[in-house]
Amino acid sequence: MKSSGFEPDQLLVSLVTKISRLSMQLVEKELGALNLTMQEFRIMGLLLGEEGMPQVELARKLAVRPPTLTVAINRLVAKGYVKRVPSPHDRRVNLLSLPDDFDLAPSIALLQQAEKTLVKGLSSTEVMQLANGLGKVVVNLEIALQ
């Protein structure tokens, strides 16, 4: 086959995908100590600061079907990591939030350690430039998806 000079590994889309996959594997490797799966960790991250997110809205944000989410929510409720209460306006709707006494410290420590691994060998200036550049990429993608 004739070489086209095209190197898929050099595309930003490929690099970002690979970084995402590897960083999630790194975080997931450490989540066992907190008795959490990556999906459960993502759920809790989306509930952070929420006073009562409808379960259907959380499913939309995670791009999963509500019945699929129910299994993970049941596990998190049983572990005491998530509160589920019926909506006062519609008893068919469950509102989800983190418990008032939820301790974020172990999760923050885990993410900080993953971040240290991620940027090892980069100067503080390079880290700042990378964060700024990736922030702009996020904005571009959010605009494109509107």
pLDDT 10s digits, 85-104 = 998 888 888 899 999 998 98
Q: Is the dihedral angle over the CA atoms 7, 8, 9, 12 positive or is it negative? A: positive
| pLDDT value at residue 67 | 86
Please count the CA atoms within 13 angstroms of the CA of 28 that sit on its side-chain side.
11
Answer whether residue 79 shows pLDDT above 90. Answer: yes
Which of 58, 78, 76 lies closest to 67, judged by CA? Answer: 58
Domains and CATH numbers, the chain: 11-115 (1.10.10.10)
pLDDT of 54 higher than 60: yes
Percent of the chain with pLDDT over 90: 66
The confidence score (pLDDT) of residue 9 equals 72
pLDDT digits (tens, 9 = 90+) for 14-32: 999 999 999 999 999 989 8
How would residue 5 be classed by pLDDT, with cut points 50, 70 and 90?
low
How much is the pTM? 0.74
Q: Give start and end residues of each alpha helix (H) in 32-91.
A: 38-47, 55-62, 66-79
Sorting pLDDT into bands at 50, 70 and 90, what band is 7?
confident
Percent of the chain at pLDDT above 70? 95
User: Residue 110 pLDDT > 70, yes or no?
Assistant: yes
